Chains A and B, each alone.
Chain A
Amino acid sequence: MQFGIFSVGDVTTDPTTGRTPTEGERIKAIMRIALKAEEVGLDVFATGEHHNPPFVPSSPTTMLGYVAAKTERLILSTATTLITTNDPVKIAEDYAMLQHLADGRVDLMMGRGNTGPVYPWFGQDIRQGIPLAIENYALLRRLWREDVVDWEGRFRTPLQGFTSTPRPLDGVPPFVWHGSIRSPEIAEQAAYYGDGFFANNIFWPKEHFMRLIDLYRRRYAHYGHGTPEQAIVGLGGQVFMRKNSQDAIREFRPYFDNAPVYGHGPSLEEFMAETPLTVGSPQQVIDRTLEFREYFGDYQRQLFLMDHAGLPLKTVLEQLDILGEEVVPVLRKEFAIGRPAEVPDAPTHASLVAARDAKNPKEVNA
Chain B
Amino acid sequence: MNTDKNKKLEEILSSLDGSRRAAVPGFFYTRLKARMEKGLEPVKQSWVLRPAFAFSALVVVLLVNAAVILKGDAAKENTVADTENFQSLAAEYRLNDNNNAILFDINQDK
A associates with B: no
